[in-house]
Amino acid sequence: MTRTGRVLPRANAADVENPRMSSMTHFRDPWISPRIRISALWASVPFVFVYVDPFGLHRADVRGDIECGRIAGTSIGRASLLGVTADVALTRLMVFPSLILPVRDQRIADTVLAAVYALTIAGGAFGEWNPYFVLGSAVEVASPAGIVRDAWAWPKPTDDAATQDHGFGTATWPAAGVAPTGGARDR
């Protein structure tokens, strides 16, 4: 009974025996491989780009600049269009290599390319004070920052011979005498 006189229901035996059914379950996120996190971050960058930059084309001052052959202080030409295309393509092209490159090469590529990409986004936002563009650019810079963080803080391999890198992170096999559930094996 509570202070108000209400009767509390008794714990169901199934709740006690099966922790998944209990209201007291504690959730634990599974460990996610740095490869998957980095690949997902590379995949998310173009979505922010698609929602921020095209909306800027609806502003009268931007349309006026485009009609004069300039955008963001740069003349529109083959070189600028090639540069923008390469900049956007970079994020799409890094999704797959993030999953297959050897760890050392991936860390270098992700750190360098994400830092360069973040600098181009920050440079493009310089002098722009439209709130939607500043917020979009901040979010667009946050993904490459996460890539650099994950690549930089990649878990170091252990000297244990039971540790294997399968391309999707490190899987450690149970040591001798330890059951897969963590308990001692029956002898």
Residue 177 lies in a domain: no
Q: Which residues of the chain have pLDDT under 70?
A: 1-30, 158-187
pLDDT of residue 65: 86
In a domain, 139, yes or no: yes
Within a domain: residue 60? yes
Neighbours of 40 (CB within 10 A): 16
Rounded to 5 degrees, φ, ψ at 78 are -60, -45
pLDDT at 11: 52
Q: Considering the domain boundaries, does residue 147 fall inside one? A: yes
The answer for 8, left when phi > 0, alpha when psi is -120 to 50, beta otherwise, is: beta
Q: How many domains does the chain have?
A: 1
Tell me if 53 sits within 8 A of 45, measured CB to CB: no
Q: Is residue 127 domain-resident?
A: yes
Tens of pLDDT, residue by residue over 15-37, are: 455 555 555 566 666 678 889 99
Domain that holds residue 136: 34-151
Number of other CB atoms surrounding residue 55 within 10 Å: 14
Residues with Cβ within 8 Å of residue 185, at least 6 apart in sequence: 177, 178, 179
pLDDT at 147: 94
Can you give the pTM of this predicted structure? 0.63
| Single-letter amino acid, residue 63 | R
The three state secondary structure string of the chain is CCCCCCCCCCCCHHHHHCHHHCCCCCCCCCCCCHHHHHHHHHHHHHHHHHHHHHHHCCCHHHHHHHHCCEECCEECCHHHHHHHHHHHHHHHHCCCHHHHCCHHHHHHHHHHHHHHHHHHHHHHHCCCCCHHHHHHHHHHHHHHHHHHHHHHCCCCCCCCCCEEECCCCEEECCCCCECCCCCECCC
* Position 82 in a domain: yes
Q: Give me the pLDDT at residue 61, please.
A: 84
175 in a domain, yes or no?
no
Q: How far apart are the first and last CA of the chain?
A: 48
